[in-house]
Structure 1
């Protein structure tokens, strides 16, 4: 499997690496990586790798076979051979914006207490789909509540829970469309707030900011009807 350096330190912008393998499609599998692979509504990271005077742009990262992570080059160019040592570097501004939006969406799921049926993240905005029949009429109040949570500058931390413990606390799972992965050991939980006084606690494999104040103020965008019982809400970073 590819060791996930982004999980231990989501603020790490570069790292040494060693090529484990190349995929038939021309992807690069490293033994360990700082690149987050596309999943859970969060895009794969972009950036570049450098070795022996060569530099190769990476368009995205995706999940490969088993627990491998595949870096996808932005253009067809000569690749480093298996066993090559290289330097990997993130497009940090893009990744950091993903972190800010992702944490903000967790807070949105607090101020809008309905089941989540889908979601997506970009560098400028994010959206969640909620299982609710009618659009909320108190948009300004929801936006104010969301920004109040951000202004608390609450800590964002992670921990782990067993599948049995999760089964005993089903209220932690807010996503109705995608269940937390099972069969590969413990499940990661992301907590906003303190251990005994948390604001949000849910299974999540993505990258997040360390404190909510780092998100900056956000605004709620349009609300779309996506079915009889489904409403899509957009959230935008203000800077």
Structure 2
């Protein structure tokens, strides 16, 4: 009886050892942390009376330079709404969604024209500074543009772009480039929309003259594209 019991115990022990050995062979090793994206996610913010499609050329250039679709985001919005009362908050929500989707701590913002006011208000007054690494303003009416009076009667967005508007004054007051964000602008002396031309440059930013390039052509200009990509990589 004792011999039988010892045999059963021995058999069970042998089975246990075999199971343990097999488990060791097939058990998955702890997975390494997911690799971080190669680039900081970029959020493109279009200008007045436009849509995300305007970024096709720059997006293509950035993909050719190594960015993926999962790192490039184009935000669409109603450009007749108020910069400070509506659009800044909507941009904040969108940036939070991009950060949650990508796992990134911060994003880069690339804005054209009116989008520059929205992005700057988000950074300066909307709590966005900790979540933004670079802000590129292409042809932004950063100190107002007289051409916005043409649509100011029916559009709050246009009123926000007029010289001396509440938005323009608040963004120009004190530090124009607050936080640890890196700022850059691109402006043209042939811009038919931004009047005066020197409305674009910001104190504290790296300001780039693009030469004689029309307002919307700045979106597809090779020099601007190279400059923006170099800036975001810095």
TM range (shorter): under 0.3
Larger gyration radius, structure 1 or structure 2: 2
Structure with a larger share of its residues in helix: 2
Instruction: Judging by fraction of residues, say which structure has more strand.
Output: 1
Higher RCO structure, 1 or 2 (CA under 8 Å, sep 6+): 1
